[in-house]
Amino acid sequence: MGSSISDKLLHPIGSTTAFRLSCEAFLRASTIELLILVFRDELQKKEIQREFELATAKAQRRIPFHLVKGGKERQNSVSNALCACNPSIEFVQVHDCARPMIRPETIERLSRKVTTAGAIAVARPLSDSIRKTFQTSHDPEIPQKTECVDRSDLWLMETPQATRRDWLDDGLRKAENLGLTVTDELSVIELNKRKVAFHDPGYPNPKITKESDLAYIQYLLEK
């Protein structure tokens, strides 16, 4: 994000933040009964507590929530969050707050679908051409051998990702036992040969990864 942005989730986007927008969406989703907020350090913990109170006031809904310290990798943070869940909880959704444009109706749809699918994530079919490189140089402008990758069965993964809680628990334990680092929740579920489903929301749900993405989120909010 560059040296000027210390925390992309809490960096101002107009009069709000990515974290606050994400919280508002989940607070407005009638199917969500508990929120677990995973924080990086004590400084961030204080900031997200303040942001969460602002989101609660804006959404005009209060639900139980817990604050949990994250881990080294995403899967460690998810494991820590699951440990804070009551054992009676059957289904969970994991969301990356760097995707602040998620909408309550999408969250509610995932809540309904996961009860029969077992695992379902926001995703969208790939529409761009994809090429694989066999480069021996780190300079992409040097001519090199490439090949086109068939995109017909490729999907871009997003969040939230909704799963049966026991499936996620089992998958995370298996990933840990195998010493694997995984990038999303469906990856650990698939370690146990579980089938998963996708939901294309039909609207932009971009992830903030570069400073320019903040301007795009601002544009979407204004639009």
Report whether the peptide linkage leading into residue 160 is cis, meaning its omega lies within 30 degrees of zero.
yes
Q: How many CA atoms lie within 13 A of 50 on its CB side?
A: 9
Residue type at position 99:
R
Distance in angstroms (rounded) separating the CA atoms of residues 223 and 213: 15
Q: Residues 158, 162, 164, 169: is their CA dihedral positive or negative?
A: positive
Tokens at 104, concatenated:
């309550």
Q: How many CA atoms lie within 13 A of 118 on its CB side?
A: 13
Q: Domain segments of the chain: what residues? A: 18-134+146-222
pLDDT of residue 92: 98
Residue with tokens 């494991």: 79
Residue type at position 151:
R
Residue 167 near residue 119, CB atoms below 8 Å: yes
pLDDT tens by residue, 161-197: 999 999 999 999 999 999 999 989 999 999 999 999 9
Query: Angle CA(111)–CA(117)–CA(121) in degrees, nearest 5?
Result: 60
pLDDT of residue 138: 80
> Among 22, 19, 1, 23, which Cα is nearest to 10's?
19
Distance in angstroms (rounded) separating the CA atoms of residues 218 and 174: 40
Tell me which H or E stretch contains 190. Answer: helix 185-190
Distance in angstroms (rounded) separating the CA atoms of residues 97 and 13: 13
pLDDT of residue 71: 94
* pTM, two decimal places: 0.93
Distance in angstroms (rounded) separating the CA atoms of residues 52 and 38: 12
> Among 173, 153, 163, which Cα is nearest to 195's?
163
Give the C-alpha distances (Å, rounded to integers) separating 145 from 24, 134, 136, 140, 193.
47, 6, 9, 11, 35
The one-digit pLDDT tens for each residue of the chain (223 residues) are 777 899 999 999 999 999 999 999 999 999 999 999 999 999 999 999 999 999 999 999 999 999 999 999 999 999 999 999 998 999 999 999 999 999 999 999 999 999 999 999 999 999 999 998 887 778 888 888 899 999 999 999 999 999 999 999 999 999 999 999 998 999 999 999 999 999 999 999 999 999 999 999 999 999 8
The torsion defined by the Cα of 162, 167, 169 and 171, in degrees rounded to 10, comes to -100
CA distance from start to end of the chain? 24
18-134+146-222 CATH choice from 3.10.640.10, 3.40.50.2300, 1.10.260.40, 3.90.550.10:
3.90.550.10
